[in-house]
Amino acid sequence: MKRVAIIGGGGWGTALSIALSGRGHRIRLWVYETELVTAINEERRNPLYLSGFSIPEPVVATNSLGSCLEAAEIVLTALPANCCRRIYREMLPFLRPEAILVSATKGIESASLQRMSEVMEAVISPCFRPRMAVISGPTFAREVARGDPTAIVVAGPDSTLNRFVQTEFSGPSLRFYTNTDIIGVELGGAVKNVIAIAAGVCAGMGLGCNAVAAVVTRGLVEMTRLVVACGGRRETMAGLAGMGDLVLTCHGELSRNRRVGFQLGKGQGLAEITAGMRTVAEGIPATGATLKLAARYGLEMPITEQVNLLLHHRKNPRDAVKDLMGRRLTEE
């Protein structure tokens, strides 16, 4: 039994608190909204982000980072990518150097183009060397909270630390695999959201299964191209953090990014779509960041480019499809 602090009371953080409390861990869950502290601690529910699920008694919510992080042995962050740097800075005075830090965020910081582990390293390393790992894979929060069988990857440079997290987090409904390719695992988790928007566009336009299959397959090529250029391993993209997460996000009805794409395909604009969203669809900010990262290495990412034009330049979806289909013919 470990003392686990989960930073982020959205759907994913709450689902992880439910799953990990079942492993016997004592969980403190940091939430931003004051009203959620009462709802979780007194009513045992999260009506804003994960309605319909009972939160076990071992989970204690707080909106004080100091209280949440006190004596924490494992610190698990489940935050929007572009909030991470600020929250890491606020966490820093309360972090113990011996604590294990695990990022569950799938995204790229827009300003720096850094992965979440790089952001964590940049913030914390002036004070002490962080012991860290990341988790990623095909995971819908509601299914994890329900106890459906789920396979996840824990990745980091320290194999011993990876195995420790694997042992502490794995249970009857969660199976963790270890991987030392933190670059591939993090980029796979971020860029698959961009491709899911494209898959949603196809669905929204009613283009059929052929088009979606082409987007998923060629999207995997773009993901792999970027991962390898950044120093990750090609084979990681054939696993849970690559193909596994991509298939789930492109086809699953619970995918926020697919839903954004579906609405784009129906002709809605980004402002109209996001106005009705409480939670972040990470593919939206990740699209621009992914293109900038690709440009750094001189890479072509045509699907990502068209998603960016759809999101931020109101390109007509049919014109985007026409431009993709009309590109210069090449080998696969």
In angstroms, what CA-CA distances link 17 with 36, 56, 66, 261? 14, 9, 18, 29
Instruction: Count CB atoms within 10 A of the CB of residue 209.
Output: 10
Among the listed residues 106, 192, 266, 292, the single catalytic one is: 192
C-alpha–C-alpha distance, residues 97 and 72, integer Å? 11
| CB-CB contact of 173 with 147 (8 Å) | yes
Type of residue at 98: E
Rounded Cα gap, residues 185 and 136, in angstroms: 7
**Gap between the Cα atoms of 266 and 54, Å rounded:** 35
Q: In what order do the strands lie in the sheet with 174-179?
A: 59-62, 26-30, 3-7, 74-77, 100-103, 131-136, 150-155, 174-179
What DSSP state is assigned to residue 244? I
Two tokens, residue 241: 């953090």
Q: Which amino acid is at 170?
A: S
Is residue 2 annotated as part of the catalytic site, yes or no?
Answer: no
3-state SS, residue 103: strand
CA-based R_g, the chain, Å = 19
Query: Any idea which residues carry the catalytic annotation?
Result: 192
